[in-house]
Structure 1
């Protein structure tokens, strides 16, 4: 893949995506833990602890090659993004909760993503493992491409909320275009092995997505969380920021094969999330949901 694309275009593209996320956030969004601790901590626990373990199990079950295995764990450690918020809006989820979870996850991922990725590299020991680790300098790169644009977007929203509102839709569209271009670029770079990668990673990526969506919805519902909040949790846990995973793989770790699982997932996630949203949006009793909402606060 072109060095200019990896070193300049990808980080800039991700910065646009994360800046767009920041435009939708305020400091109040980070206070959601205090207002709704049960549902927020439950979602974070599923996202940060349960999902990587499930992904690890899938990787072992399918006996993926080391680099693809690490790529899957890198994807699992990536937070949700603006796409999760969009799906939540489309399928009557609690979008305010989604935004708060995305905000918190994006901050926490600065720590958890390097930890999970380094553990995966240490366990699967791919070729050139020493060059792949997220050492301190590379962790700072992750920080700079994740948090700095988000903070800048939040600053702009605080100073010019009208501008932030006007830019919301254009930035969302641009984010979708960026994701498409990143996926296409990754696939083109590995075009000789696309069929092989799809055979190896396709089913694990599908199961990973469905497990995240399913657990993100079912576990909160079983614990009495309101339906709208459970829908928000489902999309936050099941829809990952594959642009971030691909950018870290290519621009920070410098390995195209590591980006393949996120690229495959990025293609499959949209129809899977849409189908899942259609299924869970059927029914729902308003009175029961209101009672559950009161209990989950």
Structure 2
């Protein structure tokens, strides 16, 4: 995909409407996948989908017909359990046909519970173990810096994932090297498996911690498509540091009985809940 605007130019309203429509389709399709498989992590899918819709349909440069194009922007889904969000984004971006989604988590499916680059085009690296994807993204960004490559590297982590020590080694390395073409997005829904993040291992103040590690930090509403686009598309040449976007989100965003409920970290819907969600996701 080639950007229709320069990084300094706001997206027109019709493009924002297109991104919003993509996000709605992704939510509906991801919930259908989880319902059919009776497996998945829909709460975290739904908190992250708006971020992915802006990245894939408003910011990143890629060519789905050439998934290994050398100059493509890289996206790493470090919270690798959120495959409903990732797979629907890749499908909508044209990496594979929609009928593949019906095989989600089935035996011998390309669409595993965690993404596998050996099976699915558009997946940059295998993720799932928390604290894994962010360090890989730092390595990719270092390679780009060393070769003066034009691509940008984006990585999305969960906020509970920030409790993993490997993330802080990655953050320290990225800040030290001034990886200005690296963008970390933290899905800050404040819930992890079974409890709130601050009740498990407190993370705040996340913004001050990343600044102390040498990052530029932007905090915003992770469901505001215009704000997301402005932050994610900002020209990296204007800064000397990596960028951390703390996206304040709602777990289960868009479905009333899922929103802000830790049980929907890996909950699966009954038939009645599925029907209700489809009525609400319009």
Q: Common fold, TM-score beyond 0.5?
A: no
TM-score, scaled relative to structure 1: 0.26
- Higher-helix-fraction structure: 1
TM-score, scaled relative to structure 2: 0.27
Report which structure shows greater RCO (CA 8 Å, sep ≥6): 1
